[in-house]
A and B are shown apart, each in its own frame.
Chain A
Amino acid sequence: MTKQVLIVGGGLAGTIVANGLCRQLGNQLRNNEVAITMLGATETHMYQPGLLYVPFGRIRESELFRDQRKVLDRRVTFHIDPAANIDVEGNQVTTESGRTYGYDYLVIATGSRIRPDTIPGMEEGAHWFYDLNGARKMRDALAEFEGGKIVVNVNAPHKCPVAPLEITFMLRDHLTDRGLWDKTEITYTYPIGRLHALEPVAQWTQPEFDKAGINYETFFNTKEVDPAAKTITSEEGSTLPYDMLVTIPPHHGAQVITDSDLGAGGWVPTERESLLREGSTNVFVVGDTTNIPISKAGSTAHFEADTIIDNVASLVTEGRWARNYDGKVFCFVETGMNAGTYVWFNYTTPPNPGPPSQMIHWFKLAYNRLYWLSARGLL
């Protein structure tokens, strides 16, 4: 009997799992002992971290996309037919087209999405770079910007937790290059009582902001945006005027998770070491989709995916568990247009970012292309 591995979601996490399983289960795939199927939403795969460079014209849009079928190992059966209902009791997934797929092992990789519509006025009044249309609009607005007040506004929860800092430093360098820095005032707002969730990153950021003349306001959780008056107001009672508002909108998980009653907000309750859905023994959750209190980032998805690959392959071939996820996260941090640093941590090792350097910035630029090797499971 062929064991069915079903992967719901064709983003980075699902793609790494699919490709990694093909590498570990080559014999079983050849002998029809196992089959790997992916249900995705689009025929293209997007390199999401590249969106950071779009507002500054520093990446071509064509560099962001690949044909998903070419990113996936050819042994994966890929359907562009998103899941409409996930039935973890019945071990089956029904898609938007009405087809039903059974499984022995399910990997839920449905990801996260921005929800600017959940804050009054945000869609009309703000710019963002977390999707392509938003990044394009922000690029156009930035091109017309001739100085004034910019508010960089961060909301919870959000993925890629260093991106808000990166966009702020890149705005500084971009506006300096255009001779507009003296006419610009940037205010960065953050939901908690420091400038970044990671305490060492927050400690590094504050003097950097002070040196650059970037203002900041902590304990700022957005209540509403008034596009006509060009103001943004927090739940804490503060109102800031802006000429250009750059927001990191709050995120939700996928609608199918909520519709299937698998987790509020689209986040699936997940055991933090096994990465199994709470209450399931054959349902894995990977990447942004989990409710684990850990960074929603590509590297998190990557390291989680590696663990799931080992465990699914081991369960299929040897009937036993292989290893647990240790909470590893690694993030590059662009500290301007010409320098960068990185930070890594896991459940037991706190983060300790090093001094920024041009070398690390170059490596980040190189990774913008190496990403495709990661997605293919080669890096």
Chain B
Amino acid sequence: MSERHKIDARGAFCPGPLMELIAKLKLIEIGDEIEVWSTDKGTAADVPEWCKKVGHDCVSVDQEDDHWRVVVRKMK
């Protein structure tokens, strides 16, 4: 049974949402998902770009009221 983990990186300037995502991916099982909340507008572009390069699945990118919500599935 796959799990969904959450990273609330709203207002996190350093190390930032993508670095947190990369670190967290090392700790979860293949098939698990991570939901990242971010107020950094670059996240909506950076996360899908990185997932494409490295082979993880960027499941969704949604803009909420004051933040972006990005879901990534670990594929390898």
Contacts and interface: CB of A to CB of B under 8 A. Distances in A.
Interface of A: 118, 156-157, 161, 191-193, 197-199, 219, 221, 235-237, 250, 264-265, 272, 293-295, 327, 329, 345, 347-348, 350-351
B14 A197 contact: yes
B22 A193 contact: no
A345 B13 contact: yes
Contacts of A237: 53
Which 7 pairs, one residue from A and one from B, show the smallest C-beta to C-beta distance?
A157-B23, A293-B12, A197-B15, A347-B11, A293-B9, A264-B27, A156-B22
A192 B7 CA distance: 17
A329 B15 CA distance: 12
Contacts of A236: 53-54
Given A237-B53, A347-B12, A351-B13, 19 more contacts: A156-B19, A157-B15, A191-B22, A192-B46, A197-B13, A198-B13, A219-B50, A235-B55, A236-B53, A264-B27, A264-B28, A265-B27, A293-B9, A293-B12, A293-B16, A293-B17, A293-B20, A295-B15, A327-B11
Interface residues of B, number: 25
A346 to B, nearest CB: 9
9 contacts: A157-B23, A192-B46, A193-B50, A197-B15, A197-B19, A219-B54, A235-B54, A235-B55, A295-B14
Given A157-B19, A293-B9, A198 B53 contact: no
A294 B12 contact: yes
Contacts of A161: 14-15
A351 B28 CA distance: 31
B61 to A, nearest CB: 16
B8 to A, nearest CB: 7
Nearest to A347: B11
Nearest to A349: B13
A295 B49 CA distance: 24
Contacts of B53: 219, 236-237
Interface string B12-37: 11111111101100111000000000
B16 A197 contact: yes
A191 B54 contact: no
A193 B27 contact: no
B41 to A, nearest CB: 11
B46 A293 contact: no
B22 A221 contact: yes
Nearest to B38: A293
B9 to A, nearest CB: 4
A96 to B, nearest CB: 25
Which of A272, A293, A351 has most B Cβ within 10 Å? A293
Contacts of B54: 219, 221, 235-236
Contacts of A329: 14
A3 B40 CA distance: 43
A157 B22 CA distance: 8
Interface in B23-76: 23, 26-28, 42, 46, 49-50, 53-55
Given A191-B22, A221-B22, A250-B26, A156 B15 contact: yes
Contacts of B9: 293
A156 to B, nearest CB: 5
A197 B9 CA distance: 13
A348 B18 contact: no
Contacts of B22: 156, 191-192, 221
A192 B20 contact: no
A77 to B, nearest CB: 35
Contact of B23 (A156, A199, A350, A351): A156
Nearest to A201: B14
Contacts of B26: 118, 250, 265
Nearest to A235: B54
Nearest to A196: B14
B59 to A, nearest CB: 19
Name which of B9, B26, B42 has the most chain A CB atoms within 10 A of its CB: B26
A218 B9 CA distance: 21
Contacts of B12: 293-294, 347
A295 B19 CA distance: 11
B32 to A, nearest CB: 11
